[in-house]
């Protein structure tokens, strides 16, 4: 049955292909519903097993969100969302689950309903579930915004106090995040209470309304925010902590291999050279160099200056430069902890081989019962192998440093802190 469903007939008509696309979308929704059921059952079995093993209630289920995320080939930080959604759908929101199962809802739209009902009691959540999804014909034509608006409206009607309390508590989650954008740009997102967010936008808009030069409105608004946050003109280098790693041949202009900027990713060689030039020519910006050594065949980082490696700070820097992001498979989070793969209390050495750069959540998750992590270095490739309590095995390898397979490598760090690394092929 599945083979025929997934086969695409090159001679099919447009109407037949449209029908197949619709059918496959329904299959995706049905698979998401089945996945939720399996996840909820998995969680119940884990809780029962840990209760039977006399594990304290406060520690039961620890590490399971990460297991769920790994099974879905997703970032561990998303595991709690997947687990919470599965529990809500299976145990509290049967109509939403049925709508997902029949294809009336996509997985994301079901997630939106669950999210907007999270502040409600179980009883009110079930009422919201019935009101919005009992009649699936009402959902026809509803997009993400309509789904969200309807769920919010019902939640406010059922328990306005809970909604108000949720809004007040949300201010505690204010934060700033950064993620890569195309063409060496970044998205810097500031999560603020609505009045503060509107005030920031209004200030930037006012600057654009009263500035008349060759820049566009968007450019003026972006420059205004940058200048007010950093206190420096937008067209001048700013002292920041920036790890920029590139081959010395790239720095010298002998090749155009991409460089790497910490927390961002690859950037074009020409753009990296421009950053360095701006840093070293600015009178009030310090530029320093540090040598790194990479493996002659794999290109992975194998050492920093030998003396620096004797100190915890130097070794920590090596892990950050080698791993670049959290080493847990599928995790995209920046490195926050310098972790022992084999814990120190079990005899694990404090070494580059046994060391891993991880995010905070992944470090704690692997300490749950049944988890183990081992590392190996074969021909310069550092591999970490994660084994979960159910026996599943996942691997991650440290990425190679940027640049062609040559003898040397350089790093630019610190506001600009630049390090030219002479690679030792031996």
- pLDDT over 80 at 310, yes or no: no
Beta strands in 144-192 (DSSP E): 175-181, 185-191
Q: What does each C-alpha distance from 397 to 322, 349, 354, 408 come to in angstroms?
A: 10, 20, 13, 22
Q: For residue 244, which of 75, 115, 63, 420 has the smallest C-alpha distance? A: 420
Q: How far is residue 338's CA from residue 335's CA, in Å, rounded to a whole number?
A: 8
- pLDDT over 90 at 182, yes or no: no
Helix (H, G, I), strand (E, B) or coil at 303: strand
Q: What confidence category does residue 287 fall into, taking pLDDT thresholds of 50, 70 and 90?
A: low
Domain boundaries, given as residue ranges, for the chain: 2-170, 175-230, 244-298+403-421, 301-397
Helix (H, G, I), strand (E, B) or coil at 211: coil
- Segment among 5-9, 274-278, 418-422 with least mean pLDDT: 418-422
318 contacts 309 by C-beta, under 8 angstroms:
yes
Global pTM exceeds 0.75: no
| Side-chain-side CA neighbours of residue 194 (13 Å) | 3
- pLDDT over 50 at 426, yes or no: no
Query: Which residue did the predictor score with more confidence, 98 or 2?
Result: 98
Q: How far is residue 94's CA from residue 313's CA, in Å, rounded to a whole number?
A: 52
Cβ neighbourhood burial of 342 (10 Å; 0-12, 13-18, 19+): middle
Percent of the chain exceeding pLDDT 90 equals: 48
Q: How far is residue 403's CA from residue 262's CA, in Å, rounded to a whole number?
A: 15
- pLDDT over 80 at 288, yes or no: no
pLDDT value for 319: 86
108 contacts 145 by C-beta, under 8 angstroms:
no
């Amino acid at each position: 049955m599945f083979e025929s469903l997934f086969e695409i007939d090159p001679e099919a008509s447009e109407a037949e292909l449209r029908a197949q696309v619709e059918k496959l979308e329904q299959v995706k929704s049905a698979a998401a519903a089945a996945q939720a059921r399996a996840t909820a059952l998995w969680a119940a079995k884990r809780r029962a097993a840990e209760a039977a093993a006399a594990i304290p209630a406060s520690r039961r289920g620890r590490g399971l969100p990460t297991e769920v995320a790994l099974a879905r080939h997703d970032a561990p930080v998303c595991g709690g969302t997947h687990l919470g959604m599965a529990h809500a759908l299976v145990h509290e929101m049967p109509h939403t689950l049925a709508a997902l199962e029949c294809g009336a809802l996509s997985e994301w739209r079901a997630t939106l309903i669950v999210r907007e009902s999270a502040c409600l009691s179980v009883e009110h959540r079930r009422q919201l579930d019935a009101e919005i999804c009992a009649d699936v014909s009402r959902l026809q034509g509803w997009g993400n915004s309509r789904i969200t608006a309807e769920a919010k409206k019902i939640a406010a009607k059922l328990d306005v106090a809970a909604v108000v309390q949720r809004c007040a508590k949300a201010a505690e989650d204010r934060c700033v995040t950064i993620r890569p954008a195309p063409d060496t740009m970044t998205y810097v997102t500031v999560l603020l209470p609505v009045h503060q967010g509107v005030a920031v936008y209004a200030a930037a808009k006012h600057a654009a309304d009263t500035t008349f030069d060759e820049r566009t409105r968007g450019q003026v608004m972006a420059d205004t925010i940058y200048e007010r946050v950093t206190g420096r003109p937008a067209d001048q280098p700013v002292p920041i902590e920036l790890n920029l790693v590139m081959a010395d041949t790239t720095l010298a202009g002998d090749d155009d291999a991409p460089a790497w900027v910490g927390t961002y990713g690859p950037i074009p060689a020409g753009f990296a050279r421009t950053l360095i030039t701006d840093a070293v020519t600015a009178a009030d910006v310090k530029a320093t160099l540090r040598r790194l050594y990479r493996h002659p065949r794999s290109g992975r980082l194998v050492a920093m200056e030998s003396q620096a490696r004797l100190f915890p700070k130097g070794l920590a820097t090596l892990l950050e430069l080698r791993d670049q992001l959290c080493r847990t498979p599928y995790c995209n989070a920046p490195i926050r902890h310098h972790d022992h793969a084999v814990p120190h209390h079990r005899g694990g050495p404090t070494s580059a081989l046994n060391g891993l750069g991880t995010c905070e959540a992944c470090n704690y998750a692997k300490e749950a019962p049944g988890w183990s992590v081992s590392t190996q270095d074969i021909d310069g490739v550092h591999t970490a192998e994660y084994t979960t309590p159910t026996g599943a095995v996942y691997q991650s390898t440290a990425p190679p440093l940027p640049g062609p397979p040559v003898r040397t490598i350089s790093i630019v760090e610190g506001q600009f802190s630049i390090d030219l690394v002479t690679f030792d092929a031996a």
